[in-house]
Structure 1
Amino acid sequence: MPKATSPAPFAPYEWMIAWRYLGARRSEGGVSVMTWISLIGIALAVFALIATLSVRAGFRAEFVDTILGANAHVTVYHMQRTDEAGRQTRTLPDYTAMADRVRTVEGVERVAPLVKGQVMANANERNAGVEVFGIAKDDLAGIRRVADPDTARGSLEMFEQGIALGSGVAQLLGVGLGDSVKLISPNGVKTAFGVSPRVKAYEVTYIFTAGRYDIDRTRIYMPFEEAQLYFNREGVADELEVIITEPEAVQKFETAIAQAAGAGALIWTWRDASGGFLRALDIEDNVMFVILSVLVLIAAMNIVSGLIMLVKNKGRDIGILRTMGLTEGAVLRVFFICGAFTGIIGTAAGVILGCLFAVYIDPIFAMVNYFSGGGVWDPSIRGIYALPAKLQLADVISAVALSLGLSFVVTIFPARRAARMNPVEALRYE
């Protein structure tokens, strides 16, 4: 007589029993209500996790892009030295030769000499403290965020006939294209009575929006030769602005650029300038993930309470099934399917909601801003103009793995309790 073989794990009858238990009627203890509560809790927790990770990733990506798109990836300047007049200075006297040497470094995309100075801008009886960047027209055209025609007004072809203003500066001064702005520098012309402020008016020929509040609110670009005259930098530059092909890996270019720049040259990278803020964002990302993981765990614990109620209400059924020949493993798998199915459906719903939130964050945020009366997002505090979101596969996978892992783990304990229930005890009082 052939030996009977036991059915494989997760056989169809186990799925059938689990499905009937999941659809328990309200009169049977409200198990279906607990199932819905568990499912909704997990869906909301996964949604919150994916939405938060997407917003954090989008904020970091936007912040880094505004840094890399409107600033030097590497700044080359000179250590303090004494010039021909006996004054202490950090200017670059041989900036043209230095720039040519730096351009030969592999991975360097663009090198631009700069003259920089802080002045007071005046127009329409309004004042603003600004930072002036003296730069050549072709080099300005290479700054991606500044030269973007979709966000700028005016033409760079007219740049050498005036100055380029950040949109925030233009708004603060109340000026537009073709208007005149006076720049007032305290370090002006030396006279017999001391140094008199230098005051000169320039036509606004270009207005840009770099996407960063602090840049648009404080920055003005001026033709390089004009800036040399205005700031008394004849024949010298203040620094070199270096753009590289791999800004995220700027560390591997530092040594080569410093050697090419020559003796006395110092370098300052974008990570040196913003590294503290980026590290703070990374720490905040990790802390937020841990906090929201606790939220997912709390939601998953609802599965435990629902299964415990289910096991208690189905004690008689368990006793009968065990006397009919169901093994402990089969009973465990039945209740494991009940809990795991709730976790899977809840996780899937949470993933869908989280992805939709990340994709349609702009209209959602606009609606929130409208109903709250505006002013929800203050760019002067957060630096960028809108709440961004970047949906990343790694974030979705981590959220799914966390939710399903916790759902499966917490399901095991009440399932084991059901499997180890003594059928005699379960049927004694029936």
Structure 2
Amino acid sequence: MTPRPFSGFEWLIAWRYLRARRSEGGVSVMTWISLIGIALAVFALIATLAVRSGFRSEFTGVILGANAHVTVYAQTYNDEFGRPTRAIRDFDGVAERLQAVEGVTRAAPMVRGQVMLAANGRNSGVEVFGQRPADVQTIPLLAEPERARGDIARLADGVAIGQGVARELNVGVGDKVTMISPNGVQGPFGTTPRISHFEVVYIFAVGRYDIDRTRLYMPLSEAQTFFNHQDTVDEIEVLVTRPDDVAAMIAPILDATGPDYFTWTWRDSSGGFLRALEMEDNIMFVILSILVLIATMNITSGLIMLVKNKGRDVGVLRTMGLSEGSILRVFFICGASIGVAGTIIGVVAGSLFAIYIDPVFGFVNWLLGGGVWDPSVRFLSALPAELRWEDVAKAVGLSLGLSFVVTIFPARRAARLDPVEALRYE
């Protein structure tokens, strides 16, 4: 009776060959090298994919949590003095119509400008976002930032600034800052810079350097006065329930605003950056896949040596009645077992690295004396990592697939050994 494939005796023989010492014709050292190589390659692949996913999620989360999903602007027209402008006059009416659109969760009028902020003999350029205090409290990353000082509910009494701005000016909650704009009051001797003083009531840190270092939020009425906007705003910020499908929201939003307006989405402003991240992810996966391929090639080298050393054994087994298929499966089990074991070790190590990346990175930072991570360069306050099961599945599939494929060729060579030739000189 023909034994079924992968019978117990085939596993027994394969296990015996894997455990054999060099003096017995085995290649135990090569087995360990192959195992460690695959484990390290899978670990590197999972760790890299987790960090890349973390970067993408972190940047996307900050973009969507601290910025408008859709910004509505007015088409350019001439004001009463014949000057071209895009100021929105009936901003409350437009905001109400936008708020009624299905899928829109927030529509907030805003005055936006750039000023010089001064305090304690220091100066810093900041971007001003003038909104109603109630609207500011509905911005996700402003309401629940990484760290915060003060009370955002007191925005009507002052301004909110990023932690980077506060550090640059050496100010805290309750301190006064001076806001200076060159576009001030028109007089007979030209334009006089506008200067106003405000109390810092809230300091936020959302975890992204270019926001914490440049932003200032103030009440809409104060911003309208400071920037000479009277009863107009610059734009209307819109948040939607499904920002990934923001393109589908453009038509209903424009239907609500009318033909005198146009939109700018978060994908218009950051889509190129996200596409670059996606391309980089694909390139990194290809490069690390080559690393996994190189690691699995060690299995081929080890099996070729094992087949050469066990030629006599193969001849004996063939004369005892083992088929070519049984011999092929024995050596396939040898190589595949190494691939499976290395993959499991790599998956466990890579997953633990992604899960506990903060203490691991903290130890590395301490070991190298600090300063390894510069938020001003990388725009994030910490190294992010997000373990996604689809990334783990890709790494596992790649490693096992390559391990099984490279094992077939030396296993077929062993199966095709002529038992007569193998035993000729024995």
Change (3 A) 1:341 1:245: same
Structure 2 counterparts to residues 55-74 of structure 1, below 5 A = 55-74=51-70
Which residue of structure 1 lines up, in the alignment, with residue 137 of structure 2?
A: 141
Distance in structure 1 (CA, Å) of the matches to 2:145 and 2:280: 35
Once the two structures are superposed, residues 342-375 of structure 1 have per-residue CA deviations (whole angstroms, 9 ceiling, x without a partner) of: 0000000000000000000000001111111212
Which residue of structure 1 lines up, in the alignment, with residue 44 of structure 2?
A: 48
Q: Is the 8 A contact 2:160 2:201 kept in 1?
A: yes
Which of 310, 314, 317 is the matching residue for 1:321? 317
Which residue of structure 1 lines up, in the alignment, with residue 160 of structure 2?
A: 164
Letter matched to residue 13 of structure 2: I
Distance in structure 2 (CA, Å) of the matches to 1:29 and 1:428: 18
Q: Is the 8 A contact 1:316 1:427 kept in 2?
A: yes
Which of 13, 30, 36 is the matching residue for 1:34? 30
Q: Is the 8 A contact 1:78 1:90 kept in 2?
A: yes
Distance in structure 2 (CA, Å) of the matches to 1:263 and 1:323: 88
Letter matched to residue 222 of structure 2: E
Structure 2 counterparts to residues 274-289 of structure 1, below 5 A = 274-289=270-285
Which residue of structure 1 lines up, in the alignment, with residue 335 of structure 2?
A: 339
Moved more, 283-292 or 141-150: 141-150
Once the two structures are superposed, residues 296-338 of structure 1 have per-residue CA deviations (whole angstroms, 9 ceiling, x without a partner) of: 0000000000000100000000001101111000000000000
Q: CA RMSD in A?
A: 0.9
Distance in structure 1 (CA, Å) of the matches to 2:397 and 2:25: 31
Residue 384 (str. 1) matches residue 380 (str. 2): yes
Residue 201 (str. 1) matches residue 197 (str. 2): yes
Runs of 4+ in structure 1 deviating by more than 3 angstroms, as ranges, are none
Residue 424 (str. 1) matches residue 420 (str. 2): yes
Structure 2 counterparts to residues 251-290 of structure 1, below 5 A = 251-290=247-286
Moved more, 175-184 or 157-166: 157-166
TM-score by length of 1: 0.98
Q: Is the 8 A contact 2:25 2:310 kept in 1?
A: no
Distance in structure 2 (CA, Å) of the matches to 1:227 and 1:299: 61
Letter matched to residue 327 of structure 2: V
Which residue of structure 2 lines up, in the alignment, with residue 154 of structure 1?
A: 150
Which of 246, 250, 267 is the matching residue for 2:246? 250
Number of residue-to-residue matches in the alignment:
426
Change (3 A) 1:246 1:192: same
Once the two structures are superposed, residues 369-400 of structure 1 have per-residue CA deviations (whole angstroms, 9 ceiling, x without a partner) of: 11112121111121111111100010000100
Residue 120 (str. 1) matches residue 116 (str. 2): yes
Letter matched to residue 148 of structure 1: E
**Equivalent residue of 2:140, what SS?**
coil
Residue 174 (str. 1) matches residue 170 (str. 2): yes
Letter matched to residue 292 of structure 1: L
TM-score by length of 2: 0.99
Letter matched to residue 142 of structure 2: V
Distance in structure 1 (CA, Å) of the matches to 2:298 and 2:229: 71
Residue 307 (str. 1) matches residue 275 (str. 2): no
**Equivalent residue of 2:45, what SS?**
helix
Identity, % of aligned positions? 64
Q: Is the 8 A contact 1:293 1:402 kept in 2?
A: yes
Q: Is the 8 A contact 1:145 1:211 kept in 2?
A: no
Which residue of structure 1 lines up, in the alignment, with residue 215 of structure 2?
A: 219
Which residue of structure 1 lines up, in the alignment, with residue 91 of structure 2?
A: 95
Residue 132 (str. 1) matches residue 128 (str. 2): yes
Residue 368 (str. 1) matches residue 386 (str. 2): no
Which residue of structure 2 lines up, in the alignment, with residue 183 of structure 1?
A: 179
Which residue of structure 2 lines up, in the alignment, with residue 398 of structure 1?
A: 394
Change (3 A) 1:384 1:236: same
